Structure 1
Amino acid sequence: MLLWLHLAAGFLSYAGLGTAVTVSISATASHPIPTTLWGQMFEVSYHQPRASSGDGGLYAELLQNRAFQQVTPGTTAALNAWQAVNGANISIIKETTPVSAALPNALHVTIPTGKTGQVGFANTGFSGIKVTAGQTYTASFFYRFPTRSSFRGSAVIGLQTASGQVLGSTTAALSGAQTTWKQITVKFQPNTTPSTTTNIFTVTLDGAAASGQSLNFAMLSLFPPTFKNRANGMRVDIATALAEMGPSFFRLPGGNNLEGQTVGPLVDRPGRVGDWSYVNTDGLGLLDYLNWCEDLNMQPIMAIWAGFALGGTSVAEAQLGPYIQQAADQINFVIGDPAKSAPAALRASLGRTQPFALTYVEVGNEDFFASSTYTYRWHDFVTALQAQFPSLHFIATTNTFNPILSPNPTEYDVHVYQTPTWFAQNSFFYDGFQRNGTKYFEGEYAAISTNANDIFGSPADGRLTFPTMQSAAGEAAFMTGLERNSDIVFAASYAPLLGHVTNNQWTPNLLAFDAGSVYRSTSYYVQKLFSLNRGDEFLPSTLPTQTGTLFWSVVRKKSTNQIIIKVSNTATTSAPLTFVLPFTNVGGSGTLQILTGTATASNTPTSPNLIVPVNSTIATGKTFNFTAPAVSVSVLTFTAQ
């Protein structure tokens, strides 16, 4: 996730001067629009330990630090998110008999003598836990007694408020004779919906009955209902918001987060410290991503690690072999024949015999940071993988045609983070690209700052905390250019997709969230408007002024004879337009969707619906007028043939 920088040109305006801009539209399409044009880029990382876009975000798991992965036993930090209940003694230990080779640590719990009432431990979740009455929660954990004892009793497993009010619970029998690991799985329904998300998950024993007992716990988990009831699935409200956008692809696993063990049982995943300095559980795995793509009818654009570490080191060419094989295994897991490939056989053993759909594989991420070594890494990876998978397209991640790569890439991934003004003034970015067979993936883009001299600075330097109406309108102007150039731009995705409201390393994000809610940004609505109002073919029209503030694109949806016009006005004054159509029959009215507001306004947790699309009816005809409001994105839809 970074950067393609250009200096912003002078900002000129003809909008709001009172003279309507005449837009003449052709009846003859210039090119079909790719079905993959608008989609989503998922970056698992870039967020602080307590809440990320994957763990604590899209991934529905509610417990943080659930398996004590990549922590140092005996330290306070190892107990992150865990706390004692009613005086229990708890610590993270290195197990003498771990639950798996991947998970060497366990939670050691001792019930002190003389205790009464429920005694045990709790998890505070990812900055809280949302609890909803009547929903079914699934909890599980492994336990064992280090030393055989005569204890027999029940653990109470449930959810409470921070003040101790029980919201819902159930019980599970535990035995002191259990000195090997045993998994417990229970379901329960809270009977109360609390007013806040400052709730905790608890596992407790009767203090008197368990006095003096010690036992160990590993791989604890708590799931609410998930999107489409997928096991190990997605958080419903976030998944629903993403589904509402109608995305056609999903770039995974995202950005610089390409490593990790993400297939097989959860208990066999060690987790890892990611590129952004916090532990990834790798709970959200490759199979989950692929199921997610099918659930939303998206194509996966899958990245493979290409031998470059973000710290600046590259694998020497002579040592690439194991990593190329790893990439081949990853691809075979997705599309391989179970009778011929062990990774494909693993996929089949997990319940998926048939291959998934896969067309595009991205080789690395932002390898313009290591262009000098990408030449041999690209060559060796792609040469080997093309021989095994000739139907796949491999996407290069260096700057376009710099350096020159062999074999010649058929697709490039281009990233740009800039100001709203830059995006508006670069709506013609791709118009000058050669039509030489190369296609482009605008894999990451966003207006992130109002300060062209320090776009990666702090909010005090102009960095946006949340997308604004100004930034969304600038992005929309750029997107009209992507649509106009969709003969060579086959896919585009805003980035980053998700970010916790406060616990994050990167702003702005398309969707913000916390433990209880999802907040749709102005940029989210722009992406949704473009995605849900895509056409089959692009219709040429009078071109916007490159240095102006008013931009448009026109598409046709052949199956319904609909003409769809998207308009971005980045000026702080309204802009009149006159549309001239060549069709014999044009509907007398159409629908109008407008997103508009004050330039600096944002949707935030305190005002989540400040700026939302408003629908109305508009008069249309062979010639008709429309005034684009100040700082707005509009979609006009009507029939014509």
Structure 2
Amino acid sequence: MSRTARTRLRLGLCASAFLLAVGLVPAAPTPAHADDVTDYAITVDPADKGAKIDDTMYGVFFEDINRAADGGLYAELVQNRSFEYSTDDNTAYTPLTSWTVAGAAQVVNDDGRLNARNRNYLSLSAGSAVTNAGYNTGVHVEAGKKYDFSVWARAEAGTALSVALTDTDGSLAAARQAAVKGGWAQYKATFTATRTSSTGRLTVAASDAAALDMVSLFPRDTYKHEPNGLRTDLAEKVAALHPGFVRFPGGCLVNTGSMQDYSEASGYQRKRSYQWKDTVGPVETRATNSNVWGYNQSYGLGYYEYFRLAEDIGAMPLPVVPALVTGCGQNRAVDDDALLKRHIQDTLDLIEFANGPVTSTWGKLRARMGHPKPFHLTHIEVGNEENLPVEFFARFQQFRTAIDAKYPYMTVISNSGPDDAGSTFDTAWRLNRDADVDMVDEHYYNSPQWFLQNNDRYDTYSRSGPEVFLGEYASGGNAFKNGLAEAAYMTGLERNADVVKLASYAPLFANEDYVQWRPDMVWFNNHASWSSADYEVQKLFMTNVGDRVVPSTATGTPSLTGPISGAVGLSTWNTTAAYDDVKVTDADGNTLLSDDFSGDAGQWTHTGTGSWAVQDGQYVQTAEAAENTMVSAGDPNWHDYDLRVKATKKSGREGFLVAFGVKDTGNYYWWNLGGWNNTQSAVEQAVDGGKSTLISKAGSIETGRAYDIDVKVRGRQVTLYLDGQEWGGFTDDKPAEPFRQVVTKDHRTGDLIVKVVNAQASAARTAIDLGGAKVASKARVTTLAAAPDAVNTETATPVAPVTSTFSGVAENFSYTFPANSVTFLRIRQK
């Protein structure tokens, strides 16, 4: 067989494998092949130099979402330890949430409090007791381990406190006693657990009247045995990644809520943005706050603990501070010059807290907290996902100017909004580029298909800056197919390591009983933790980075050529809306569907939530709080058609959605008009339930106004018209390439690291040409391979690395990469 014929066969097999993977052709038996026939070819050029990869390229992003802090990474076992829970944080909360009272007790907020920021305390009557239920199923203790109890108490006439650890089977440790007399003071005791239990309860009883606050129980065995420390198993999972940086504390909680300061006159103001000065100093003097994700946060895990974690795991700290423009759907610019100056000064004070000498105001506080040496902060991010790029950038520039003047060595990071494309993204990037900003933080959460399609995203970015920080990304799930898509994308990040200088998957943690967001790296409850498939992918890349890219090429998949096909649909999201005069015609003008709703809605199938009915000759969805209320009509095989419809928003927070290319409930396109709290419109593509944005623009939808919508589908080109004017369009012809690779070199070991992702249902027989490199005959192989839908759980780990040795390495050799796999070959150069 000639070389040309072999190449054609490789490309044909590659295309067939891809089409089989996405279900576009029927499965067929794999044909027999001659020994020299392969599906793919990788060619490496070891004489050429690719991008240098910094040690800090891959890191982790921590945000207090999914109870990641209290009840999670922060090792405190008592929930609501200072009686500060409030309906302001969650309508189900009271100051006694997680507590039960035997006898009489009352939560008090008066001048007798422990301190100004710790507003509430418990007044416990004589002979009464309170019991704390901890997190998840209870307080978790392990036999033979020590647990440190503390409480701030006051009893002018004196009282005896009795403290016990129990579960339904009885005592978990010998009870402890404390004699309390006089004003507020801290009392401590140590328990040694006699049994292991995950359903424990902590009880504090008083013989006479007493006031209690800051009731605490900590495992002695915190990570690195740090005081006020971290839960060991969770911190160890972070450390095992060997991250180059830790981005903290968010995320949406940084720039949501009020930006105002604490006021002694009015008392502590809840629902504030995360402000670092609230989170340092003795824990009993730190503020508590409402979390944007719907619960209370104690700030026991604060800036000092974040810096300490970064240092303990050898990572660069990377804090994020608010820029007085709210994000995450709030979209409000705070116009208060004095407040802006205060936040800028707070940011300068933060750098002093991290790096200043012990003689400085904030360096002295760091030293008092136990760390005289500086934390060596070099990077700081201002703002997070602002959807008002002009307003944000005006404020960012003032932060940047002040930081550069006092700390010229700092890298000051900006951002490009909440999406991977669109008008906000384009405006933000133009502003950042024109101002020669050091680095821009991009965020996007898209479908696995998007990540398979966009491996080349950074190939065309300018090499003259700004550099990119990919601060948050994920493919919307924790199955192995998600990890495969992310792994394929990461090969493109490494190939472009001269542009993408930092990258972190998000979010990091999720408590299985308190979930707001589901594509998380590490899951846990009160007694166990487990790594997702995404974690295993991140760990494989983060522990095998190398320090320079070795240029390489591989055969790939041809562009998609079949037309976009599918039925049509109507939907709403947090709105009520009315639709009328739906008409679908083919490219020749023949009518495929026509419905003016003068009769019933018999042509439509309701596949989503909500409540649909024909009213006054319109099809109306009336459940304002419902999300994705899709109804669909037509043939999934329709293609090359026009969809016309009239749509009217009647009430609610957003606009309306018109769908096309509808295959089923998880696979469709829709034009989302007035989405994101009625701030922008976009075309989104759903693949297996995961959505990606294809095109977006700023804009809102008026209530009560009828809009004329026209969607023209021709082949894989879509053009959209709003009220007769062309709104935009796109061509969806990029293949979801299942075979991706990158090669790096580790100068410390001399290894070439060949990293290959095969995200398809068939093995990939691959010819590898190392370009004349002299190499050892054996390679150390690490493989992740599992079913696409495999998910790691507390009791099962179907996605786990397997190591082996491959003995057939040469300048030219073949290797078969398993179906649905990520494989790293570490090849020693002679």
Measure how far apart 1:273 and its partner are. Answer: 0.8
Give the aligned partner of residue 281 of structure 1. 298
Distance between the aligned counterparts of 2:404 and 2:175, measured in 1? 54
- For 1:500-515, list aligned pairs within 5 A: 500-515=511-526
Letter of the 1:578 counterpart: A
Amino-acid identity (%) = 32
Q: 2:549 aligned with 1:538, yes or no?
A: yes
Measure how far apart 1:11 and its partner are. Answer: 10
* Superposition TM-score, scaled by structure 1 size: 0.87
Distance between the aligned counterparts of 1:69 and 1:408, measured in 2? 45
Q: 2:393 aligned with 1:375, yes or no?
A: yes
Measure how far apart 1:317 and its partner are. Answer: 5.9
Identify the range of structure 1 (241-250 vs 102-111) with the bigger mean alpha-carbon deviation: 102-111
Contact preservation (8 Å) 2:81, 2:216: yes
Contact preservation (8 Å) 1:156, 1:204: yes
Q: 1:268 aligns with which of 285, 296, 303?
A: 285
Identify the range of structure 1 (538-547 vs 57-66) with the bigger mean alpha-carbon deviation: 538-547
Count of aligned pairs: 583
Give the aligned partner of residue 498 of structure 2. 487
Alpha-carbon RMSD across the aligned residues, in angstroms, is: 2.1
Give the aligned partner of residue 461 of structure 1. none
Measure how far apart 1:631 and its partner are. Answer: 1.2
SS of match in other structure, 1:98: coil
* Superposition TM-score, scaled by structure 2 size: 0.68
Letter of the 2:454 counterpart: N
Q: 2:135 aligned with 1:120, yes or no?
A: no
Contact preservation (8 Å) 1:567, 1:635: yes
Contact preservation (8 Å) 1:157, 1:169: no
Give the aligned partner of residue 255 of structure 1. 251
- Tell which has more relative contact order, 1 or 2 (C-alpha 8 A, sep 6+): 1
* Cα separation, partners in 2 of 1:503 and 1:152, compared to 1, 3 Å: closer
Give the aligned partner of residue 803 of structure 2. 615
Distance between the aligned counterparts of 1:13 and 1:241, measured in 2? 37
Larger Rg: 2
Q: 2:195 aligns with which of 192, 197, 200?
A: 192
SS of match in other structure, 1:512: strand
| Cα deviation 1:460-516 (Å, max 9, x = unaligned) | xxxx4xx11111000000000001000111111100000111311001210011001
Distance between the aligned counterparts of 2:533 and 2:555, measured in 1? 23
Contact preservation (8 Å) 1:566, 1:635: yes
| Cα deviation 1:521-566 (Å, max 9, x = unaligned) | 1000000000111101110011453732100110111121111111
Give the aligned partner of residue 720 of structure 2. none
Give the aligned partner of residue 598 of structure 1. 787
Measure how far apart 1:12 and its partner are. Answer: 4.3
Give the aligned partner of residue 172 of structure 1. 177
Measure how far apart 1:152 and its partner are. Answer: 5.1
* Cα separation, partners in 2 of 1:307 and 1:152, compared to 1, 3 Å: closer
Measure how far apart 1:242 and its partner are. Answer: 1.1
Moved over 4 A (4+): 10-18
Q: 2:55 aligns with which of 32, 35, 44?
A: 35
| Cα deviation 1:239-290 (Å, max 9, x = unaligned) | 1111111111100112123313111111111211122232111111111111
Distance between the aligned counterparts of 1:318 and 1:96, measured in 2? 33
Q: 2:69 aligned with 1:59, yes or no?
A: no
Distance between the aligned counterparts of 1:521 and 1:274, measured in 2? 25
Give the aligned partner of residue 343 of structure 2. 323
Q: 2:310 aligned with 1:293, yes or no?
A: yes
Distance between the aligned counterparts of 1:36 and 1:133, measured in 2? 39
Q: Which runs of 5+ in 2 are unaligned?
A: 1-15, 22-29, 255-273, 417-424, 558-734
- For 1:297-308, list aligned pairs within 5 A: 297-308=314-325
Letter of the 2:151 counterpart: F
Letter of the 2:228 counterpart: N
- For 1:391-406, list aligned pairs within 5 A: 391-398=409-416, 399=425, 401-405=428-432
* Cα separation, partners in 2 of 1:36 and 1:187, compared to 1, 3 Å: same
Letter of the 1:604 counterpart: T
Give the aligned partner of residue 357 of structure 1. 376
Letter of the 2:243 counterpart: P
| Cα deviation 1:206-253 (Å, max 9, x = unaligned) | xxxx3xx32110011111120010001110010111111111110011
- Which one has a larger percent strand, Structure 1 or Structure 2? 2
Letter of the 1:36 counterpart: T
SS of match in other structure, 1:239: helix
SS of match in other structure, 1:588: strand
Q: 2:216 aligns with which of 221, 230, 235?
A: 221
Contact preservation (8 Å) 2:756, 2:822: yes
Contact preservation (8 Å) 2:165, 2:175: no
- For 1:74-223, list aligned pairs within 5 A: 77-84=94-101, 87-112=102-127, 120-127=129-136, 128-145=138-155, 148-149=156-157, 153=160, 155-161=161-167, 163=168, 165-175=170-180, 178-194=181-197, 197-205=198-206, 210=207, 213-223=208-218
Give the aligned partner of residue 405 of structure 2. 387
Letter of the 1:174 counterpart: A
Measure how far apart 1:354 and its partner are. Answer: 2.3
Q: 2:461 aligns with which of 419, 433, 448?
A: 433
SS of match in other structure, 1:560: coil
Distance between the aligned counterparts of 1:491 and 1:584, measured in 2? 30
SS of match in other structure, 2:400: helix
Give the aligned partner of residue 671 of structure 2. none
